[in-house]
Structure 1
């Protein structure tokens, strides 16, 4: 048995929380003092990346420390095998008490329920914002209140009732700020001032792969009445917009973007305010501001509840020997390139926020610019727990980075693979790639099976290379530019070496000159 002075570990994860909407990352669009406190008293990572920018695969990678082709959770509809080894099982075997509270999203039923946890209470599927259901070993219950508050309540109650003679590991997973951004009514008054439009809001997608242009996640065209908190009138698609999913059981529709916007009247479903427009740009910017208001208000509840958690640790005398982590299951587009949602390897959805505090092992106010990935989380937990890191885990502990002792051979590379080719809602293309400290290489291979089991085909295979130093907004694909030929060759070697290392199978054709 490992020594008894091991730290507690609290892993707080939100759903779709962009780094830009945490104030310590410097964008200036909202104020999150409690999240900032973790960074002020610990370390902020600027280059933490997800291996697959969609929530179910990301959660599987975090839990198992393996890439998705290994853990078998490759798409949104995938389910984890309960017999799969995971970090909670390793910690529990090593003497930790373990708990999972909140969003699970790795399948339901006996074959896919959380395992390795002494206590678990999770929301079914995506969960509900108001009066949510929870599933536990005893069955289904419904709780009254707002989801973010309830998940925190359950987490704190479990800590209070733990065995104080053993360290604990808690995964506190919030539903917020996932679509459709239903905020706590007490935050309705917040963020009424306009948010500055991103520089790329009106992106025309020139000089990029076709995937960027065809994606259906544009703020101006693809947000729905439910997303924006608007009343949905009766009528057909010519009057009120197309369905997000073309099925008889789907009622939510995309708010239309007609050429003659002067005939459009949108109504706030809460107070009946009527909105009218004079130009298509005015309508697009209204949708953006409405989206941002709702998104940022849900985050305010997260910040409030992280504050509750931190205050509780102080009151209980647990702060000094508890590692507190805050992250998201991936990044999210907040109007950049005109988009909401995630999925892509473009920076806004690829990069995850990652804040960590541990008074006994991390200097306050530190910033790390080294690259880490979500598969590295589990080995790092085990390292701090003074437990053996099993050979099945593909991630690497980054404890040395937390101690500001970056190894000379540190893996300054992040790998990403999105398997869901042309999902029925967003039309996002399948792709994989790597990023180092300066460059990003993406291969859009466009030939995985669609969600209906068919192989769509017909999409052009394309490469993209971005110079993230010279082009941080990722507007210019320089893959075919002569001056970047040597970079293309080096990054392609890096990609192939990484795929060989983790056992993922490439589908691209090797460049002859390599």
Structure 2
């Protein structure tokens, strides 16, 4: 078993909340013989992994920044070319994945709300049916797993940090020194090797922080791409003509990314202090040794930038920032790919591969410079689409390609059908089992999407919409009233809003009618409710570790009283 060194320094406090309690009545555990026939499930989800940054999808980055281990899943199983989310935002995406329901039903529409842990989830159903269950890594739904029936859990606090994160368990909070992706991997392998009940099938949720902002690579990968020049999307300098909401956003790499926090730009030649840093406590978490290694990795590149910045045009600086962003973003993915490889190797070495469903996906897509952007949120393809790869050798043929449109609300019914467990009621998603097998004669013809988080960071307006196999229709409705329509066959990069093009009038009316059908099908509340919604009134205050354990932090958030 591959080991990922994670030397620890303990900072332990009382538990944030009581340990998970679980609810409902467990189904009778099946016999050992039946258990051996039921599949294990490992659900691996990263945060903000763009399809362009996964080489199995064959993008222009495939040769420069390959992901060979994640690609193994596609080679061994199925790759989905049209996988989408219901809301391109971290918390809402997780809530939809857990429940199989849209946010207006599961109650989690934007970050800052609290997930209702009393509702049905696929992980609870599997536990009731006799599965050994665990969750390791990022959680990010604003509660501890109360109501979740997990036999084991080790969770990052809130977003988590790339270095020396705080881990929350039922016993309290512990700060551990190490790189977070590696720690998630080691904790996962330890549970698989030592913690699970081998008399039961298992369901493991393995959630990575990476490659979420602020894109801090592992020490071994900080220089991996320092001399690589990545191709620049031809929409990088988009002027957003005809797209008011796109023009109003604040997630542009060369205008809105923080020069310190995001791009690791320093204050001058020979300096190691970052420029503007919106969360300085993250860099403060590094030990002296880690900080020295970090500074040495970036010093020459930052000195070059600082020495030449005054002579560069705005375009030259914008392109430099793009390269820095891509170097770090893609470097964080390398450790995730290594992690997936370690899990795959463990399954192979322990004869678990054949009967284990292993999933790799992201909580949503992400922008890698398209339209000049980082982040997500919009219904445009780069953030709406998400990678999805599933291997299950006992049931899924190697090299399967699934072209039908699926969404993250489909995961819950799929896992439960494969496990032979009855699906709970009021689910919006549908099982993909027949679709994966190529046996489904009828599948959905259109997708519904809804983004709610405005006003908020990045200033992406509230909008909802529909996408079918060729066309997309969106309505931006809060503080504006604008429709957008795209022919994805002729305009795959969504640069031409054709809402006023008379050639598409019939298609637009057809999609508006189909959109109303979907709103009825999914019991979407009247639009006036969303227009009146005040995000501040619906956010749930969440405790921060500095508030819970102030004796361990200084006034600026720096860590005190820790040991190497």
Which aligned pairs between 1:179-218 and structure 2 lie closer than 5 A?
Answer: 179-191=213-225, 192-208=227-243, 210-218=244-252
Q: Distance in 2 between matches of 1:32 and 1:241?
A: 32
Do residues 290 (structure 1) and 324 (structure 2) align? yes
Q: Distance in 2 between matches of 1:155 and 1:251?
A: 24
Q: Distance in 2 between matches of 1:42 and 1:273?
A: 46
Deviation at 1:133, TM superposition (A): 1.1
Candidates 120, 129, 154, aligned match of 1:94: 129
Q: Distance in 2 between matches of 1:378 and 1:345?
A: 23
Give TM-score scaled by structure 1 length. 0.88
- Cα-Cα RMSD: 2.2
Which aligned pairs between 1:40-189 and structure 2 lie closer than 5 A?
Answer: 40-108=75-143, 113=146, 115-161=148-194, 162-189=196-223
Q: Deviations over 1:104-130 (max 9, x none)?
A: 001135xx6461211111001100111
Runs of 4+ in 1 over 6 A off after TM superposition: 240-245, 249-252
1:194/1:121 CA distance change after superposition, 3 Å = same
**SS of aligned partner of 1:9:** strand
Q: Deviations over 1:40-70 (max 9, x none)?
A: 1111101111100000000000011111011
**SS of aligned partner of 2:82:** strand
Deviation at 1:483, TM superposition (A): 1.1
Native 8 Å contact 1:65 1:377 kept in 2: yes
Deviation at 1:232, TM superposition (A): 4.6
Which aligned pairs between 1:433-448 and structure 2 lie closer than 5 A?
Answer: 433-446=465-478
Q: Distance in 2 between matches of 1:113 and 1:329?
A: 21
Deviation at 1:142, TM superposition (A): 1.8
Deviation at 1:159, TM superposition (A): 1.4
Per the alignment, residue 13 of structure 2 pairs with none
Deviation at 1:10, TM superposition (A): 0.5
Deviation at 1:220, TM superposition (A): 1.1
Per the alignment, residue 502 of structure 1 pairs with 522
Native 8 Å contact 1:120 1:136 kept in 2: yes
Native 8 Å contact 1:496 1:506 kept in 2: no
Native 8 Å contact 1:268 1:274 kept in 2: no
Native 8 Å contact 2:60 2:231 kept in 1: no
Q: Distance in 2 between matches of 1:70 and 1:193?
A: 45
Q: Distance in 2 between matches of 1:14 and 1:464?
A: 30
Native 8 Å contact 1:97 1:118 kept in 2: yes
Per the alignment, residue 493 of structure 1 pairs with 513
Per the alignment, residue 38 of structure 2 pairs with 6
Deviation at 1:481, TM superposition (A): 1.1
**Runs (5+) with no aligned partner, structure 1:** 234-239, 253-266, 447-458, 509-514
Deviation at 1:244, TM superposition (A): 6.3
Per the alignment, residue 389 of structure 1 pairs with 423
Native 8 Å contact 2:266 2:275 kept in 1: no
Q: Distance in 2 between matches of 1:302 and 1:243?
A: 25
Q: Distance in 2 between matches of 1:362 and 1:155?
A: 24
Q: Distance in 1 between matches of 2:402 and 2:477?
A: 33
Greater percentage in helix: 2
Q: Distance in 1 between matches of 2:382 and 2:370?
A: 8
Q: Distance in 2 between matches of 1:499 and 1:96?
A: 35
Give TM-score scaled by structure 2 length. 0.80
Deviation at 1:231, TM superposition (A): 2.3
Which aligned pairs between 1:269-418 and structure 2 lie closer than 5 A?
Answer: 270=299, 273-275=303-305, 276-277=308-309, 278-405=312-439, 407-418=440-451
Q: Distance in 2 between matches of 1:137 and 1:502?
A: 36
